[in-house]
Amino acid sequence: MAMVREITFAEALNEALDYEMSKDPKVVVMGEDVGQYGGIFGVTKGLLEKYGEERVRDTPIAESGFIGTGVGAAASGLLRPVVELMFIDFLGVAYDQIYNQAAKIRYMFGGKAKIPIVIRTVSGAGASAAAQHSQSLHALFVHVPGLKVVYPSTPYDAKGLLISSIEDDDPVVFIEHKMLYGIKGPVPEEPYSIPLGEADVKKEGKDVTVVATALMVHRALEVAEKLEEEGISVEVIDPRTLVPLDEETILNSIKKTGRLVVVDEAYPRCSFATDIAALAASKAFDSLKAPVKLVTAPATPVPFSPALEKEWIPSTEKIEKAIREVL
C-alpha cells in the first residue's frame, strides 16, 4: 500500500483553493495581501500567478468594504467568493455584512437566494500577537442563524472541509488556528470532500469523553496518550464543524463514557464550551456520572507577554487535571 504524502495545514488549504479555482471559474479569492504576498500565512501562495488579478484580488484595508463586496458578489449568482478576513479579531469592522446580510438574505427571500461565500479567517493565541490579533471568537459566529462555521484541526480535515465549504450554497465562516499552519499530516493528492456537520472521533475510549476544538484537539490527544499508560481510556472528539453540529456523535460518546470534559481556547462565558455542556445537560443528563468540566481560557484579554500567554492558553496540565477530576 502506497504511503500517503504529508503536507502542512497551510499547504492543504492551498490545494483546496487551487482545486476549486481550477474547476470552477466562478470561484474568486479576495482579501488583504492574498495576491502578491500570497497571504500572511502563505495559504494563497501561487494563486495570483496561476489565475490572474481578475480572480485573486488584493483589497484595501477595509474589511467592511471587501466582505460586503463578497456578499454582494455571492448574492448575484455570478461568483463564489472566498474572502479572507486576516484575523478573526477584525470581525467587528464587518459584522453587519456577515450577521445582518450574508446570514439572513436566503431566509428573507424565502429560500430563493443563495449566498455561496466562504469567509476564511485566522484565530487563536500562541504567537505573542497580543490582545487584538489572538482571540478565539468562533462563538460569535455560532450564535448567528444562517451561518455555517468550520474549525478544522488537521491538514486532512482542512483540505476536505474547505472544498465542501466552497461548494456549499450557504455562507460559511472557515476558521484556521494560526498555530496549526505549520503542522504536517497525511493528505491525499486527489481532491476529496468532508461533509459539513460530521464530527470525527480522533481517539476512541470508554472512561471519559473529551470534546475539543482546533489546536486543543492535539493537546487533548497528547493527554489521552499519556493517561492510556495508566489504564485511563479517553475518547477525543473533534466536532470539525461547529455549525451544523454533530450532536449524535457527541451524545453517543457521553452515553458510553458517562463523563465529559470540553476543551476550547476561548472565553468561558456564552462559549462553544458552555454550548456543549448545555447539550450534555439537556440530552444526556441521565448518563452523566460526574459534573461536566470545562477547560477554557480565562475571561481576560490575551496577554502579550509570552509567559502570561502560555498560562492563558488551556494547557495539557489543565486538561489532565480536569479529566482526573471527573473520574
For the chain, domain boundaries: 6-186, 200-326
The CATH classification of domain 200-326, taken from the options 3.40.50.920, 3.40.50.300, 1.25.40.10, 3.10.350.10: 3.40.50.920
Active site includes 133? Answer: yes
Q: What is the pLDDT of residues 270-309, one digit of tens each?
A: 999 999 999 999 999 999 999 999 999 999 999 999 999 9
The CATH classification of domain 6-186, taken from the options 3.40.50.970, 3.40.50.880, 3.30.450.40, 3.30.70.380: 3.40.50.970
* Residue-averaged pLDDT of the chain: 96
What pLDDT score does 314 carry? 97
Helices (H), the chain: 9-23, 47-51, 63-76, 91-95, 105-108, 138-142, 155-167, 215-228, 247-257, 272-283, 306-312, 316-326
At 50 the three-state DSSP class reads: helix
What gap in Å lies between CA 44 and CA 34, rounded to an integer? Answer: 6
DSSP 77-127: TS-EEEEEES-GGGHHHHHIIIIIIITTHHHHTTT------EEEEEE--SS
Domains 6-186 and 200-326 share a fold: yes
C-alpha cell, 291: 459534573
What pLDDT score does 167 carry? 98
What pLDDT score does 2 carry? 59
Averaged pLDDT for residues 122-148: 95
**Residue 300 DSSP class:** S
What gap in Å lies between CA 207 and CA 270, rounded to an integer? Answer: 27
Phi, psi for 284 (deg, rounded to 5): -140, 25
What pLDDT score does 165 carry? 98
Residue 39: name the closest of 186, 181, 161, 215 by CA: 181
pLDDT band at 224 (very low <50, low <70, confident <90, very high): very high
pTM of the model: 0.96
**Where do we find the cell 465562516?**
173
What gap in Å lies between CA 183 and CA 7, rounded to an integer? Answer: 8
Give the active site residue among 133, 138, 177, 218: 133
pLDDT band at 178 (very low <50, low <70, confident <90, very high): very high
Q: What is the pLDDT of residues 28-79, one digit of tens each?
A: 999 999 999 999 999 999 999 999 999 999 999 999 999 999 999 999 999 9
